[in-house]
Amino acid sequence: MSKFYVTTPIYYVNDRPHIGHAYTTVLADVLARSHRSLSDATFFLTGTDEHGQKVQQAAEKRGVSPLAHCDETVVRFQELWTRLGITNDHFIRTTQANHKRIVAKIMQDLYDRDEIYKADYTGWYCVGCERFFTEKDLVDGKCPDCGRDVNAITESNYFFRMSKYQDWLIDYIQTHPDFILPAFRANETLGFLKKPLGDLCISRPKSRLSWGIELPFDPDYVCYVWFDALINYISGVGYGTDEEKFNSWWPASCHLIGKDILTTHSVYWPTMLKAIGLPMPKTIFAHGWWLTGNSKMSKSLGNVVNPMDMIDRAGVDAFRYFLLAEMSPGNDANFSEDAFISRYNSDLANDLGNLLSRVSKLTIRATGGEIPAPNELNADDAELANAVTQAISAMESSLESYKLDQGINAAMNAIRAGNRYLEKCAPWTLAKNGDTARLHTVLHNAAEALCKVAVLLAPVMPQKMTELLCVLGADKAGISGIADLAGLKSVAGFIMKEASPLFPRIIVETDPGAAAPAPKAEKKAKTEKSAPEKTQAPENVLISIDDFFKTQLKTAKVLSAEKVDGADKLLKLSIEVGPEVRQLVAGVAQFYSPEQITGKTIVIVANLKPAKIRGIESQGMLLAAKNGNDLKLVTIDGDMPSGISIG
């Protein structure tokens, strides 16, 4: 049996959890749930970092002891993780007696082996980062990491001989390509290691900081908070107390971290492990930041998103889905309420909700709810089955590469393929015409596709996908994990229930103080209906950078194109946007034939709300320049993959 041990960073308890904390923890939870779904033995560790100067100062400001402060604030994280459905196997606190004993034991062992020594030190100290920096490290005289003021400090301290492992670490990173991911983060660490690596100060004098783990060989000092915190990854699975448990889980499969703590995890931690005599974790994966516009979310800027607000607005599963689908791990992602609502309505309310509603209503109407057995299959059936098979493969691959957004996109592509399948096969017409054999085949295939995709998305949206599987009757057959899909021969005989909306559409309320909208014009006759009229923005109107970043421009490759029946100006395009295949309707048929546009790499507005044009859903808008009767597509010069952001 395969094993999977995943960790999050342990979070400081001097503030409330925000979307960054939530993202890392949900990502770890989805990885853990997915590996359990594959029948892998799984252990998921998270927790809180409760020592250090920031915690001590926060407690002093409140007039309470540091431990009392920690006991009160840790609840915020524990409550949020419960609300988010986090399935961690252990929640570690660095104030726990067992963890403190292990840290002291490791320090004493390293000291006895001369891996730790005492020396005088002069440097610049950042309280916020709780790190020393040399003069050359500073940027404009301030902390290079957070930009805060630093203090000049000269004092005696204890040091870990980190420098002796520099050459070993460089060689290890270069010979283990999966050790630091994404690969460009490994290059960042190697760039850092081009400079001579100093020894690591691992103590703080009690005269300056008393809140920490006391050094076992000198009671006048406490342990540096990072040296203490990193050890949680081994103390949390039994190191020094339960060797059988520890050996069953270590080395870790994946340390999930934010990119801002890359150095501590890719330099400090490996050298510590090497000195202790333990093997390295398989992967350290550094994800990006959540941004508002062009800025990282931070309390000082007042742009931090409270996860509770989004959960209250749309539910836990929708929030989890947005976090995982919107960010490609390793890269930064922009958060906006508009983007959240757009993805929710498009992916969940429209695509997924529409397919479930159609399949359940049609099956109940046709058979009383029993999913029928399929009959003879044709090319349309094979196309849907292939989309689902690709989704299963993509989800498993995305787990290995930690790019879950790609697996989620593939699953949603299978849902969209299910909707296209129903449009093409028109089961409502089959029922009307009495073609029972074909009707039963279509209903079976659509239900089976829903069942398999629900299993794939269950780690992301556990509550809602459990509900969906119950609607399909799959829960009675014991279908709940990816490992169960291999034994699923057919969903025939499952009893389907009537489905209530899993994701009710979010209606954006208009400002009550705004002017009333103009009366809608009467609809034209169907024969005159064409693409929606474009609204022309006034010229010379300045917008903010935040307004600009609301629009997601991406490269897209045109896979195929065909004319829309009865519409001289419209082409229906199948486009590739990264791992996703979309449908787009564009009014360019007078300027480009299907053959001329196929194969081009164009630029699209990727986060435009889907629209129906001539009854065909269009998922985005391409960019073009028009001068009188001449129109030219905005295309990419040279070879560039699809799905790349423009801007």
Of 449, 458, 259, residue with least CA distance to 371: 449
Architecture of domain 336-388+416-485: Orthogonal Bundle (1.10)
Residue 408: per-residue pLDDT: 96
CB count, 10 Å around CB of 411?
27
**pLDDT beyond 50 at 538:** no
- Model confidence at 625, pLDDT cuts 50, 70, 90, reads confident
Helix (H) or strand (E) holding 449: helix 436-457
Strand-pairing partners, residue 605, are: 553, 621
**pLDDT beyond 90 at 14:** no
| Percent residues over pLDDT 90 in the chain | 62
Tell me which of 190-194, 291-295, 475-479, 576-580 is least confident. Answer: 291-295
Q: Give every CB contact of residue 460 below 8 A, 6+ residues apart in sequence.
A: 30, 317, 320, 321, 324, 325, 404, 408
The per-residue DSSP string of 538-586 comes to PTT----HHHHHTS-EEEEEEEEEEEPTT-TT-EEEEEEETTEEEEEEE
Residue 549: per-residue pLDDT: 58
For the chain, give the mean pLDDT. Answer: 88
What is the average pLDDT across 375-390? 96
The matching CATH number, chosen from 1.10.10.10, 3.30.2130.10, 3.30.420.40, 2.40.50.140, for 526-646 is 2.40.50.140
Residue 638: per-residue pLDDT: 66
202 vs 556, more confident: 202
Please give the single-letter amino acid code of residue 71.
D
Residue 537: per-residue pLDDT: 45
Residue 518: per-residue pLDDT: 34
Q: How far is residue 103's CA from residue 232's CA, in Å, rounded to a whole number? A: 9
**pLDDT tens digits along 111-137:** 999 999 999 888 788 877 777 787 778
Which fold does the domain 3-114+164-196+217-310 belong to in CATH? Rossmann fold (3.40.50)
Residue 131: per-residue pLDDT: 75
Tell me which of 13-17, 88-92, 195-199 is least confident. Answer: 13-17
Tell me which of 270-284, 448-462, 602-616, 632-646 is least confident. Answer: 632-646
What is the average pLDDT across 136-142? 85
- Model confidence at 529, pLDDT cuts 50, 70, 90, reads very low
Q: Which residue has the tokens 């307004």?
A: 547
Residue 300: per-residue pLDDT: 52
Taking a C-beta distance cutoff of 8 angstroms, is the pair 388, 414 a contact? yes
33 vs 617, more confident: 33
Taking a C-beta distance cutoff of 8 angstroms, is the pair 387, 474 a contact? no
| Percent residues over pLDDT 70 in the chain | 90
Q: 3-114+164-196+217-310 with 336-388+416-485: one CATH topology?
A: no
**pLDDT tens digits along 36-67:** 999 999 999 999 999 988 899 889 999 999 99
- Model confidence at 296, pLDDT cuts 50, 70, 90, reads low
What is the average pLDDT across 504-527? 48
Taking a C-beta distance cutoff of 8 angstroms, is the pair 3, 248 a contact? yes
Annotated domain spans of the chain: 3-114+164-196+217-310, 336-388+416-485, 526-646
